Amino acid sequence: MKALLLIDIQNDFLPGGALAVPQGDQIIPIVNELMPAYDLVVASQDWHPKKHGSFAANHEGKQVSDLILLEGLEQVLWPVHCVAGSEGACFSDSLGTERIGHVIRKGGDPLVDSYSAFYDNGHRNDTGLSALLKRENVTEVHIAGLATDYCVKFSALDALDDGFQVSLIEDACRGVDLVKGDVERALNLLEEKGVKRVSSDELLGETFTLYRPTGPEELAKLEEANFAAWPPRLPDQPIFYPVTNQAYAEQIAEQWNARDSGIGYVTRFEVKRSFLKKYPRKIVGGKMHEELWIPAEELAELNTHIVGKIEVIKSFKN
């Protein structure tokens, strides 16, 4: 089984945070799109005490980015960040946390930093992540998150050492580049060690499958458009919301469309993923109940990004 491992997508690592990774927020829409493709999603979370030894503020006369020895290990000094229980340590509100199955916290020992989601920097403490993945029969790990040249890199290396196949989703990661070239050096090292470098497009494809439950009136308009475009919304319909899985579409078609109109249909269509990235995916009930919210005034543009025909795949009669 494949698992998606999300590294430290926390407020302090995003723009405006205490240790912001440049453009770190840009990975969140990609990560949200990736999560439904995996049976297991695990997220790591930096969770430091205030007096952590990696904080420059806890070393008199030292500055951020200085190098020191901390309990025998070389340590970069950082701003105070991701203090346990703080807002900065929380996951971004934009992250679809309802799809995260397990959270692994790291960095709780004040005497050693923990870049990797698997072990601290001295391999003295084990977070339990490896055991969790093996217990879930995971053999392959795909990694996304922050930052490429620190926590992502060391997590990938430890995953390899623990016997997992590892892929790094490059467009779903961003780096610090404290020393210019650090990110590219990290990527090259990972590739040399056996990590596969992939993109979200490679994993998910160029198009995304959407479903829409519909009634007979809307279906008639689809027929008029030769099943190539959705009809404009009515004035009281400000949002066009297809759903992201067939089971949810069937539930609505059977329980609502068929009840109200005598018959309900489930349609399926493909849309270019590059177009959909800007639209929020909303969980409106259980995990299955996920919708894509597209403003009515942008429906015409959506229609130009539909690939192929809109298909009717199922019907329900009252």
Of 155, 72, 67, 141, the C-alpha closest to 107 is 155
Q: Which residues have a Cβ under 8 Å from the Cβ of 312 and sit 6 or more positions away?
A: 219, 265, 266, 267
Cα dist from 220 to 217, 264, 312, whole Å: 5, 12, 12
Is 151 known to be catalytic? yes
Query: What strand order describes the sheet that includes 140-146?
Result: 102-106, 40-46, 2-7, 140-146, 165-174, 196-198
Coil/strand/helix, residue 222: helix
Residue 8 is a catalytic residue: yes
Between the alpha carbon of residue 172 and those of residues 77, 94, 137, 261, 298, the distances in Å are: 26, 14, 24, 43, 26
| Catalytic entry in 46, 106, 109, 153 | 106
Q: Is 82 a catalytic residue?
A: no
State the catalytic residue, choosing from 109, 151, 153, 173.
Answer: 151
Q: Which of the residues are catalytic? A: 8, 106, 151
